[in-house]
Structure 1
Amino acid sequence: MPETTLDLRDVPPAERHPMIHSAFEALGSGEALEIVNDHEPKPLFYEFQAEVDAFDAENYDCERAEPGKFVATLPKV
């Protein structure tokens, strides 16, 4: 179960990644950040995979909950 959930659908795009990085950094080891987005966050996944050592890419998950709602889980090692 994610420790923190961010619903980003009403957040301006330029503010999303900094907000996500900040929330992820605040997590402890073994915790996860859940984000709710209006599109599949593939660019974010690749960014985290390349730049964030504590990101557990193997256990990343993203599901389309409904049109315009994607829920992604970003686990931290």
Structure 2
Amino acid sequence: MARLDVRDIQPVNRHSIIHDEFEALEPGETLTIVNDHEPKPLFYEFQAEVERFDADGYEVERHAPDEFVARFPKLAA
């Protein structure tokens, strides 16, 4: 499982970095993202654009006011 904390990355660059990290995963692996807000727009983007994204397996937890941990699973082959 890969973990990526994007809170220190410029917001304009976050989505492209997250997409690259997701693409590098093996089928069946999960990308865990730590973000400063709930990543609902990213979820919808993945759901619409990323064929290998397992939307049913997506989870998000709020750990603090500025810490959301989201899991983006990649479908198994």
Task: Report the TM-score when normalising by structure 1.
Answer: 0.96
Q: 1:32: which partner in 2?
A: 30
Q: 2:48: which partner in 1?
A: 50
Q: Percent identity?
A: 61
1:12 equivalent to 2:10? Answer yes
Kindly provide the CA deviation profile for residues 3-61 of structure 1, in whole angstroms up to 9, marking residues without a partner as x. 11110111100110000000000001100000000000000000000000000000000
CA RMSD in angstroms, aligned pairs only: 0.4
Give the whole-Å Cα distance in 1 for the aligned partners of 2:47 and 2:32.
16
Give the whole-Å Cα distance in 2 for the aligned partners of 1:35 and 1:75.
11
Q: Which stretches of structure 1, 4 residues or more, deviate above 3 A after TM superposition?
A: none
Q: 2:59: which partner in 1?
A: 61
Cα shift at 1:66: 1.0
Task: Report the TM-score when normalising by structure 2.
Answer: 0.96
5+ residue gaps in structure 2? none
Give the whole-Å Cα distance in 2 for the aligned partners of 1:73 and 1:34.
4
